[in-house]
Structure 1
Amino acid sequence: MIRVMLADDETMVRVGISGILASVPGIEVVGEACDGAEAVELAQRHRPQVALIDIQMPKLDGLSAAEEIRRTVPETGLIILTTFSQDEYISRALRIGTNGFLLKSGNPYELIAGVRAVAEGGACLSPKVAARVINSFGGERRTRSDLALRRVETLTEREREVLALLGAGLSNADIGRRLFLVEGTVKVYVSTILTKLNVRNRVQAAIVAYEAGLIGDTT
């Protein structure tokens, strides 16, 4: 059972998202918060596998709440779920080490898939957010691509295969099935990849995979 906590200051939004998740077998909503401070408290109390957090909330904004949850409950996967996709929010979310960034305007199936992916150790980005990350961060596109390629050159062939599948949003279990590896071995590969690429989390590693052109290698 995937245990999820939801934080949003709009009651109707909480009811809607909670209803979507509650209708899915294998997902349980264990707490709902209406402000950032309550979100931190509930995460510390329930220690959910996934926390869905809005950005603009009273008492403590969602990104500050996510940062505190990351510090005090590091095992909880963090997904920012919001109507705002400004570059500054995306950039800060990535620096904090969130596992996903989804837009409320997205398809409910995107939300469900994102929760499952993060619960299994994966990552998720709304397609619109992924496009902005790839096209907007780090300067001129060709420069980013060249830098990403140089970083990927430090990886072994198998590590590049794992990175490509990670970038495509696959969980450790899915990567293991695709490459005929046990999940523990995949975890070791992922840890080594993060270290070699000098990135904090799977989302940042996925961005490197996109910029290096590895995603097309997953078919």
Structure 2
Amino acid sequence: MAHVTVIHHHPWIRRGLEEALAEAGEFSVTVCSTVEAGIAAVRGRHRTSVLAAHELPSLDQLLSAFREAELRGVPVALIGDPADMLQRPGPLPPGVSGFLPEGAEPRALAHAVHTLAAGAAVLPLTMLWCSVARDPKEISLPTLLTLREREVLALIGSGLTNQQISDRLGLTAATVKAYVSDVYCKIGVDNRVQAALFAHGISPSRVLSSS
């Protein structure tokens, strides 16, 4: 069973996240209300994924700890309001692998945590579209990726082939091929490499322009 460490200063949000993860039936959960307690909990259990409030007091102290050699491999995602995050200039802070909305449904939250633990970025689609150098004011949101499409995109980001995705998800090869085609269309990429970059929150256009 995978483990998640929730670090949040608001008790009702802590409780809500704990209940949502427990409802998925796939995680054991440790909840902490302070940075100090969160760091101590993770030091005692390195094989965990961390969900931390993006407005957590002393967040810089927490992220600094995760940049140390001992905890550098622990995946961390911030929890908060996507609208607030979009208003903040620049990329996510160093050491942060993604951002999750506080109101995520249990199934979507569980999927996001598994994606985070696999080493892929987890970002709302709006933030991913902003990461590919589009003006947020000009974004008319495309049809959102379905949960299955997000699963396929995450597995592409993990380097799996269509056949491996088919085996992992219990789908036919033709169905996976159709999902991959739909994902390419919705996120605006032309090939698997660009899709994998997109899954990790990296702009394919920026990589190409710097090469």
Q: TM-score normalised to the size of structure 2?
A: 0.62
- 8 Å contact kept, 2:66–2:95: no
Q: Is the 8 A contact 2:120 2:200 kept in 1?
A: no
SS in 2 for 1:3: strand
Higher relative helix content:
1
Residue 178 of structure 1: aligned partner: 162
1:168 aligns with 2:168: no
Quick one: structure 1 residues 44 and 76, their matched pair in 2 at CA, closer, same or farther if it must change by over 3 Å? same
What is the rounded CA distance, in whole Å, between the counterparts of 1:136 and 1:64 in structure 2? 32
Q: Indicate whether 1:206 and 2:206 are aligned.
A: no
Q: In structure 2, do the counterparts of structure 1 residues 136 and 54 end up closer, same or farther at CA, with 3 Å as the change threshold?
A: farther
Question: Taking structure 1 as the reference length, what is the TM-score of the superposition?
Answer: 0.60
Cα distance, 1:103 vs structure 2: 1.6
Alignment RMSD: 3.7
Counterpart CA distance in 2 for 1:7 and 1:212 is 34
Could you say if the C-alpha distance between residues 92 and 123 of structure 1 is closer, same or farther in structure 2, counting changes exceeding 3 Å?
closer
* Structure 2 gaps, min length 5: 137-149, 166-196
1:20 Cα deviation after fit: 0.8
Aligned letter for 1:56? E
* One-letter identity of the residue aligned with 1:20: A
Residue aligned with 2:72, SS: coil
Corresponding letter in the other structure for 1:83: D
Alpha-carbon distance between aligned partners in 2 of 1:83 and 1:43, rounded to the nearest angstrom: 24
Spell out the pairing of 1:28-177 with structure 2 (5 A cutoff).
28-29=28-29, 31-58=30-57, 60-61=58-59, 63-71=60-68, 72-83=70-81, 85-87=84-86, 89=88, 91=90, 93=92, 95-134=93-132, 135-136=134-135, 168-170=153-155, 175-177=159-161
Aligned equivalents of 1:86, 1:26: Cα separation in 2: 28
Q: Matches of 1:81 and 1:96 in 2, distance apart?
A: 15
What's 1:25 paired with? 25
Deviation of 1:127 after TM superposition, in Å, equals 1.8
- Check conservation: 1:122, 1:171, Cα contact below 8 A: no
Shift >4 Å, 4+ stretches = 87-90, 202-205, 210-213
CA contact (8 A) 1:50 1:115 kept: yes
Structure 1 unaligned spans of 5+: 138-164, 182-201, 214-219
SS in 1 for 2:100: strand
Retained in 2: the 8 A contact 1:81–1:103?
Answer: yes
